[in-house]
Amino acid sequence: MENILDKLGIELNEQTRLTNDSKFTFNCHSGLSCFNTCCSNLDIVLTPYDILRMKNRLGLTSVEFISEYTEPVIQKESKLPFLKLKLGDEGKCRFVAAEGCTVYGDRPAACRYYPLGFGIYKNEEAGDDFYFLIREDHCKGFEEEREWTVGEWRKNQGVDEYDDKNRVWMEVILNKKLYSPELEPDEKSLKMFFMASYDLDAFRDFVFESRFLDVFDIEEERLEMIKNDEAELMLFAHQWLLFALFKKPTMNLKQV
């Protein structure tokens, strides 16, 4: 988090650290001279739910979307493989047109948050999660008169749904064990993480076409949910990651 703040030139203090009740003035619309400018030179790491929504919006499989619209990035501390949005010519988002975002209803969480940044303390004793404003020189939105609280903005932009769907995955990627100098995930664990995070089609096959259901005791009702609801399948994949990587009691083994 500190590196991101440094990159943006933001010093976190009592004035810049925002809570859910903090107020700010901002509005974005096509009448602004900067409209669509923020859709260039992006560095957006995609969450599992981002990919689920966008691949379905485009009618693509997980592999097709990953291959066409993303590029890999390795997190330095944990060595985990993440995916970020692949940009088009001149660093412009490939989903933006003159009239705005062509996938607006299914845009990524990072786009929904903007102009807010979101921070999570790795040290659980440091306090609650926090927010900060991203003030870019080109942005005229801050000159508008519309006032929001952080909570109102999150609700208006549909952020809460995205954060809720990614909640268990965030628990995975923030687990302290991943950042221990003594622990470096092996190739099998890295492939496991990538599949359960991003490739839902492969994970579905893993559950229903391998010996998975011979090993794990899954209630029939839950089984039907993950068969018919991709969001439930995604959540199940993240719960399995907690079990597989950290031995969290999120799955039940069948009695032999």
Q: What is the pLDDT of residue 32?
A: 95
90: Cβ contacts below 8 Å, ≥ 6 apart: 40
Q: Is the pLDDT of residue 126 over 60?
A: no
Q: Is the pLDDT of residue 7 over 70?
A: no
> What are φ and ψ of residue 204, in 5° steps?
-60, -45
Helix (H, G, I), strand (E, B) or coil at 40: strand
**What residue spans define the domains of the chain?**
4-161, 164-253
Helix (H, G, I), strand (E, B) or coil at 149: strand
Q: What is the pLDDT of residue 130?
A: 85
Closest to 112 measured CA to CA, from 30, 199, 49, 197: 49
Joined together, the tokens standing for residue 64 give: 């097709």
With pLDDT > 90 as the criterion, what percentage of the chain qualifies? 77
The amino acid sitting at 136 is E
Helix locations, the chain, DSSP H: 2-8, 48-58, 62-69, 109-113, 150-157, 159-165, 167-173, 187-198, 200-209, 212-215, 220-228, 230-246
Q: What is the pLDDT of residues 149-158, one digit of tens each?
A: 999 999 999 9
| C-alpha 197 chain-centroid distance | 10
Q: What is the pLDDT of residues 159-207, one digit of tens each?
A: 999 999 999 999 999 998 888 877 778 899 999 999 999 999 999 999 9
Task: Specify the higher pLDDT residue, 125 or 199.
Answer: 199
Q: What is the pLDDT of residues 56-89, one digit of tens each?
A: 999 999 999 999 999 999 998 888 999 999 999 8
Most confident of 16-20, 133-137, 229-233: 229-233
Between 13-17, 102-106, 201-205, 236-240, the lowest mean confidence (pLDDT) is in 13-17
**CA 175/CA 178 separation, integer angstroms:** 6
Q: What would the mean pLDDT of 219-237 be, rounded to a whole number?
A: 97
